[in-house]
Amino acid sequence: MKKVFFLCFSFLFLFCSKTEKKQEKPVEVIQPKDSIVSVIEPMIKENTLIFTVQIAALKNANQSLENLEGVSLYSENSLTKYRFGAFSTYQEAKESCRTLRKKYQGAFVQALLNDKPIAISEALHN
């Protein structure tokens, strides 16, 4: 019995202790043909100053104002702001504002630098 046990144990030991050789797949090294280095320059946004006429600032949306031609919507401080036109000069915006005040009494000229409101005095000094 001891011989059978010894023989089985030896047999198991010999077969289990063999390590298999793993075949390694050759690694393909890709060499670049040209050495081109791409440089990504940060986009510098140009300071864009426009003047617009704000006709309303409301907490709730107004469908009739949204449907007006030339009116853009801006969301600021939980308000929807309705602005008309995009003028390159304050004078143009002011003339448009005079016309719009006949229908929208609270209309005023708003200066936008990169789509952010700034004071008219600051815009005129730029």
Contact between 49 and 126 (Cβ < 8 Å): yes
Domain boundaries, the chain: 50-120
Domain 50-120 is classified in which CATH homologous superfamily?
Answer: Sporulation related repeat (3.30.70.1070)
Q: What is the pTM of this model?
A: 0.60
Read off φ and ψ for residue 114, nearest 5 degrees. 55, 45
In the predicted model, residues of the chain with pLDDT beneath 50 are none
pLDDT at 16: 61
pLDDT at 58: 93
Contact between 71 and 64 (Cβ < 8 Å): no
pLDDT at 68: 86
